[in-house]
Structure 1
Amino acid sequence: MNYVELDSYTRKWIFTHASMPVAEDDLALIKPFTQARSAQIWREHISAQSPDADHFEKGDWAHNDKIWSEAHDWQDAWDSDEPELPEELLAFLDWEDNTTVFFCYEKYNVIETKWNVFKRNWKNFLFFDDGPILIGRKKKQAIWFSSKGTFKCALRSD
């Protein structure tokens, strides 16, 4: 089994919080991985050696500062009443709505969903903003969110 039932997910509340509830249809497509599967996704796509974004090391593709764009603000869009992601993020990601995405909080906490589900519910995902990275399956683009209310874009290497 690769997934944890959403009802058993330790951070389930971010998707069921009264101030920003997620639609039932979308909840069905938000799939937290087990710790073992999360670790495998993290190892294959983020880092074989670092447990989270605060500890990237030489050899991790994300450690290379030269690949990352300048920082763009996400906090203002998150605080607004409008549901849209920041324009700079949407301009960088040309993914189709049904693209499978991985929202990687850290080595043992990765969620799979579809790009259109993430776009509608991105504010929920960012209730925890301690360095998560968004990647798409078979896509090179990556978004690294900072708890400072900014994000950076990059093309990742394999």
Structure 2
Amino acid sequence: MAYQLLESFSKSWIFKREDPKVEPEDLAQIHLLDEARAASVWRDYISEAHIHPDHFDDNDWAKKNAVAQVKWEPIWESDDPALPELLLDHVAPWGEDTLVFFCCHNELVFEMTWSVFKRTWKAFLFLDNGPVLVAKKKKQAVQFHSSGMASLLSRG
């Protein structure tokens, strides 16, 4: 894998806040893919035709394969550290060590394990303009919207 320093990300402050707190051992496991690898993951998992979620159309699986919607924002704003229950149920097949990608656009993709994402999701959702969370070799996915809703998706 080809990574770049997390500090090179213009919004790396999201991982250094006290609230929500990202523990140093989790931060060490959050990897920012370099642009070439990010583009490859985006193309393979998200879209060959569009470089940003804002550009998705009805031909993109993320736009047409929503199985449900869930509110994430009320829990994000609360002291509850857990993801919404419906979201957790949707991705129940993911194991703690499943490799996940938090895909913001074709040049901005983060890689970590599912267990790390579950503990740090509140920091990631400062980037709520349509990112898609996918897991390697899994069909479940989640797209987070700035409306405070998440689309529970199936990659087919």
Taking structure 2 as the reference length, what is the TM-score of the superposition?
0.94
1:90 to 88, 91, 104: 88
Alpha-carbon distance between aligned partners in 1 of 2:155 and 2:33, rounded to the nearest angstrom: 22
- Three-state SS of the structure 1 residue aligned to 2:47 is coil
Tell me how large the CA RMSD over aligned residues is.
1.3
Aligned pairs for 1:36-55 (under 5 A) are 36-55=36-55
Per-residue deviation at 1:58? 4.5
Per-residue deviation at 1:7? 2.2
Unaligned segments of structure 1, at least 5 residues = none
Alpha-carbon distance between aligned partners in 2 of 1:52 and 1:60, rounded to the nearest angstrom: 11
Alpha-carbon distance between aligned partners in 2 of 1:58 and 1:21, rounded to the nearest angstrom: 37
Aligned to 2:144: 145
Per-residue deviation at 1:51? 1.1
Q: As a proportion of its length, which structure holds more strand?
A: 2
Aligned to 1:136: 135
Cα offsets for 1:111-153 (capped at 9, x unmatched): 0001000000100000110001000011110101110000111
The list of structure 1 runs, each at least 4 consecutive aligned residues, that deviate by more than 3 angstroms after superposition, is none
Alpha-carbon distance between aligned partners in 2 of 1:117 and 1:124, rounded to the nearest angstrom: 11
Cα offsets for 1:24-72 (capped at 9, x unmatched): 11011000101111111001110011111111135422232xx212321
Taking structure 1 as the reference length, what is the TM-score of the superposition?
0.93
Aligned length: 155
Per-residue deviation at 1:11? 2.1
Unaligned segments of structure 2, at least 5 residues = none
Alpha-carbon distance between aligned partners in 2 of 1:97 and 1:18, rounded to the nearest angstrom: 25
* 1:17 has 2:17 as partner: yes
